[in-house]
Amino acid sequence: MAIIGYARVSSVGQSLDVQLEKLSHCDKLFQEKHSGSSSKRVRLQACLEYVREGDTLVVTRLDRLARSTLHLCQIAEQLEEKQVALQVLDQNIHTGDATGRLLFNMLAAIAQFKTEIRAERQMDGIRNAKARGVQLGRQKRLTDQECLELRLKRQQGVLVKTLMEEYKLSKASIYRYLKGTQVAQAAD
């Protein structure tokens, strides 16, 4: 019956100190600096494999554990199968009883709702900006005239490598300009 802690921050520049202090009572601690959206969270996987029946997995907040409600539910199911309780310190949740499990599921659903609302607002903002004529994304490097010159040189047999050096573009960008997708994107 061990208490196992898991701490995560999203980027290398962030500090784990606050989480580690809150988890200092744990018998064993897993920590990593990795984005929540990344599938390569090896320390989380190691933690989930390590926990045994009767253990309690402790995190400071739900968003430190999972990247989505689905992922959170998958982790919760995995812990339940192993008969491991989950404790979330900042939200005062402990899945060792029915009330804790109810609260856990409600907060997970609310977190997913907030994520989806944020994404919808972002898409609305992008649509509104496009409607106002705001140019989104990276500005194209070549003018329409330079695009025509690039295509003409390629038709005349100039190597892509030479075009890359001359126009200071990547191979992929040269091919996009040759296909005309850069010009089409700029017109959108």
- To the query of whether residue 10 is one of the catalytic residues in this protein, the response is yes
For the chain, give the secondary structure using H, E and C. Answer: CCEEEEEEECCCCCCCHHHHHHCCCCCEEEEEECCCCCCCCHHHHHHHHHCCCCCEEEECCHHHCCCCHHHHHHHHHHHHHCCCEEEECCCCEECCCHHHHHHHHHHHHHHHHHHHHHHHHHHHHHHHHHHCCCCCCCCCCCCHHHHHHHHHHHHCCCCHHHHHHHHCCCHHHHHHHHHCHHHHHHHC
| Catalytically annotated residue among 10, 11, 15, 173 | 10
Instruction: Tell me which residues are annotated as active site.
Output: 10
